[in-house]
């Protein structure tokens, strides 16, 4: 498995994990969990872009 593929998988996991935290935080009015979810989603988005750049240079 290439590094870009591995990064894409990590990005997808972080995005999914972030979405769940964001939704649960929203449903329970837990602002801290919501913020944590948004951070995870942002981290996933950055990892996704990094993977795209790596794939382009492989």
Which is higher by pLDDT, 53 or 56?
Answer: 53
pLDDT at 57: 82
Alpha-carbon distance of 35 to 20, in angstroms, equals 12
Calculate what percentage of the chain has a pLDDT beyond 90: 84
CB atoms within 10 A of CB 12: 14
Which is higher by pLDDT, 18 or 3?
Answer: 18
Q: What is the pLDDT of residues 13-30, one digit of tens each?
A: 999 999 999 999 999 999
* 30 alpha-carbon distance from chain centroid: 20
Q: Report CA-CA distances (Å) from 56 to 19, 32, 38, 52.
A: 28, 36, 27, 6
Q: Which domain holds residue 52?
A: 3-56
Count of domains forming the chain: 1
Predicted confidence (pLDDT) at residue 1 exceeds the cutoff of 80: no
């Amino acid at each position: 498995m290439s590094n870009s593929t591995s990064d894409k998988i990590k990005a997808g996991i972080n995005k999914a994990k972030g979405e769940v935290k964001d939704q649960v935080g929203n449903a329970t009015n837990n602002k801290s969990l919501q913020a944590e979810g948004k951070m995870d989603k942002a981290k996933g988005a950055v990892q996704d872009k990094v993977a795209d750049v790596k794939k382009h240079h492989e």
